[in-house]
Every structure is written in structure tokens, then in C-alpha cells.
Structure 1
Amino acid sequence: MKINWGTGIVLAFIGFISFILYFVFRMSTDDRANHDLVTEEYYKKELTYQQELDASNSATEMNANLTVEKTDEGLVIYFPERFDPTKISGTVSLYRPSNKHLDTNFPISLSKTHLLIPDNRLVDGRWDITVKWEYEGKSFMHKEKLTY
């Protein structure tokens, strides 16, 4: 049987379309391909973005910046010493971009000017740390990216 150029073009198109459909099907059913949004309720979170900017700016204006340090015991977050630690409240959010199951939130409860997050709670790799805290009705926020 002799194949002319028209039949060859049609077979090439059919082969190409089959190739593309195979990979689309394979990628959409593969469990390793993660197609989730970055965070849950992404659009609701974007509505509070201005409040986050204000809290971050107030931390800069009042010189209430935090220091995050990696130690042998874990991750230590140092709050400004001029603030009374018993009046500080808020949350520490640890976000893992590569695995949403490792994301955790810690309430801030201080007796000293630092907060320790134990080493056994953290896996090596990149973490996005967000500390939202209040002191005497004033909101502050600190964001940092850390490779642990």
C-alpha cells in the first residue's frame, strides 16, 4: 500500500493530537501534580491585605521589629524588650509552600520576651513565617522567609 503526502499529514496530525491528549490526561490524573491554590480561601485573604500593610507599617514606625533566629532547640522569635511580654497576644503562622499538611499556627503566650518553636515541629526546607501580634490594642505584623 502506498501512502501519499495527504495521508501522511493526516496521520501526523492524529499522532500529534493523541500525544497531547495522553499527556493532558496523565497530568490531570497524577497525584504528584498539585493543583491547589496557594492558600485556602485565597480571595477572602486578599480582602484583608490593607490591614496587613497597616500592621507591618506600624511595626516599622514604632521600631517594634522582631528577630527570628535558628538555634539547636528550634526557632526562637525575639520580641522587643521594651514591651511587657504578658500583654503581647497573637499568632505565629508557619507556612510550607511545598506541603500544605505541614502548615501550623501557634498562639503567642509569653512570660519572657522570646517564643521558642521546638525543633521537632519543623522539617528542613523553606518556611514562610508570619507573626501577627497585638500590644495594648495596637496591631503589628512581621513576615519572613526562612530556610530551616
Structure 2
Amino acid sequence: MKINWGTGIVIGIAAFICFIMFFVIKMSTNDKYSYDLVVEEYYKKELAFQQEIDAEENMKLFSEKIKGKRTPEGWLLSFPNELKPEQVSGTVFLYRPSNKQLDFQLPLKLSGLNLLIPNKHLVGGRWNITVHLDYEGKKYMYKEEIVY
């Protein structure tokens, strides 16, 4: 049987469509390739967005910013000198964009004006740190992207 060029093109296109469909079905049904949302309840989070903007603006009222640096023990956050550590409360949330299972939250308990996030919690790669703190009745928020 002889195949002319028109039949060959049709067979080629059909084979290409089957090839693409195979990968689409494989990627959408395999649990290994998860498509997690960045935030589970993003509509609720959007409603509170103005409060986050205000809290970030409040952070500018301090004479210096929160500084983070890598140490042999982990990631060290240094807070402004005008803070009184016993009056500070809040949380530190570490978000790993590539893996939802690595996200964690710590209570904000200062020793002096520093907070150490231990190495055991941190895996090498990119992290987003968000510090929510309440101080003297005002809410403050600090965000930073780090590579650990």
C-alpha cells in the first residue's frame, strides 16, 4: 500500500495530537505534580489587604528596619532598638513557595531584640518571611524574601 503525502500529514498531525494529549492527561492526574494555591482562602485574605498595607506603613515609623542575616545556628532577625521586648507579641510565618508542606509559623518571643529561627526548620532555597507584631496597641508587619 502506498501512502501519499496528504495521508502522511494527517497521520503526523494525529500522532502529534495523541502525544500532547498523553502528557496533558498524565500531568493532570498524577499526584506527584500538585497544583496548590498560594493561599487557601484568597478572597478572605484580599478583604484584609488594606490592614496589611497599614501595618507595613506603621513599620516605617521605627528609626530602623528589621534586619535578617544568616548565622551558623539559623536565620537571625534583629528588631529596632526602640522596641521593648516584653511588650512585643505576634507571629513569624515562613512560607516556602515551592513546597507547601515546609511552611511553618512561630510565636514571636524576643530574647533581647533578636529572634533566631533555627536551622532545623529551614531547608535551603527561597523563603518568604512575614513578621506580624503588636506593639503598644498598633499592628506592624514586615515582609522579606530570603534565600537560605
Q: Return the TM-score normalized by structure 1.
A: 0.90
Give CA deviations for 1:52-86 in whole Å, capped at 9, x if unaligned. 11111111133352111211111111111222111
Equivalences for residues 19-98 of structure 1 within 5 A: 19-63=19-63, 65-98=65-98
Percent identity (aligned) = 53
C-alpha distance in structure 1 between counterparts of 2:97 and 2:19, whole Å: 32
C-alpha distance in structure 1 between counterparts of 2:37 and 2:143, whole Å: 20
Give, as a single letter, the amino acid of the residue that structure 2 aligns with 1:54.
D
* Residue 109 of structure 2 corresponds to residue 99 of structure 1: no
Any conservation in 1 of the 2:124–2:147 contact (CA below 8 Å)? yes
Count of aligned residue pairs for this structure pair: 148
SS of structure 2 residue aligned to 1:131? strand
Give CA deviations for 1:96-147 in whole Å, capped at 9, x if unaligned. 1111111000011234211111111111111100001010111111100111
Aligned match of 2:112 = 112
Aligned match of 2:15 = 15
Q: Aligned Cα RMSD in Å?
A: 1.6
- Unaligned residue ranges in structure 1 (runs of 5+): none
SS of structure 1 residue aligned to 2:112? coil
Q: Return the TM-score normalized by structure 2.
A: 0.90
Give CA deviations for 1:11-42 in whole Å, capped at 9, x if unaligned. 23321221121111111123332311112222
SS of structure 2 residue aligned to 1:110? coil
- Unaligned residue ranges in structure 2 (runs of 5+): none
Any conservation in 2 of the 1:86–1:111 contact (CA below 8 Å)? no
